[in-house]
Amino acid sequence: MQLDLKAQRGKEVLVKISNRIGILADLAQIIADRGINLLAIDAYALADQAYVRLLTEDNLRAVDVLREHGYNPHEEDVVLLTIPHKPGMLHRVSEILSESGINIHHIYASTTKADGDCCVVLHTTNDAQAMVKFNETRIGV
């Protein structure tokens, strides 16, 4: 069976903060208390800085509530790619970009079940071209 990849423009919320125990719990509580649903998250620490990327159902409210609590979030452009949750899909996605000369800055994904779809969030050196390449591609599953 052949399927089309589906890519579209999106926005993620990026929060750069001092790394400390419990900071992710604090951010998650703030978002949850406002009733904002998280679709995907990427978080990591480098030395004393933590970086949290949030894909939400309502970035405007997420940014507002985080600012109300003293954080300095901002939105960044990303590509939102819907792909089948099947073995080899990361290879295929990265291969499409590699063959197009497009470098990945960051990538993360979210899925709920083995037979469903994945939501892949990525930012590249050329997001517009990446979306074109993805939307032109049919894959076998």
Q: What is the pLDDT of residues 5-35, one digit of tens each?
A: 899 999 999 999 999 999 999 999 999 999 9
8 A C-beta contact, residue 10 and residue 84? no
Which of 57, 76, 95 is where one domain is finished? 76
Domain carrying residue 85: 2-9+77-140
**Strand pairing class (74-84; 117-124):** antiparallel
Task: Judge if 105 and 132 occupy the same domain.
Answer: yes
pLDDT at 2: 67
Last residue of a domain, one of 61, 76, 91: 76
Pair (64, 95) in one structural domain? no
How many domains in the chain? 2
Give the mean model confidence (pLDDT) for residues 52-58. 96
Q: Are residues 57 and 86 in the same domain?
A: no
Does residue 64 share a domain with residue 94?
no
pLDDT digits (tens, 9 = 90+) for 85-126: 888 889 999 999 999 999 999 999 988 766 678 899 999 999
Q: Could you tell me which residues come within 8 angstroms of residue 138 by beta carbon, excluding any fewer than 6 positions away?
A: 2, 3, 4, 5
Transcribe 100-112 into DSSP letters: TT--EEEEEEEES
Q: What is the predicted pLDDT for the residue at 138?
A: 78
Q: Which has the minimum average pLDDT: 56-60, 64-68, 112-116?
A: 112-116
Among the candidates 56, 76, 96, a domain finishes at: 76
For residue 61, the model assigns a pLDDT of 97
How many Cβ atoms from other residues are within 10 Å of residue 14's Cβ? 18
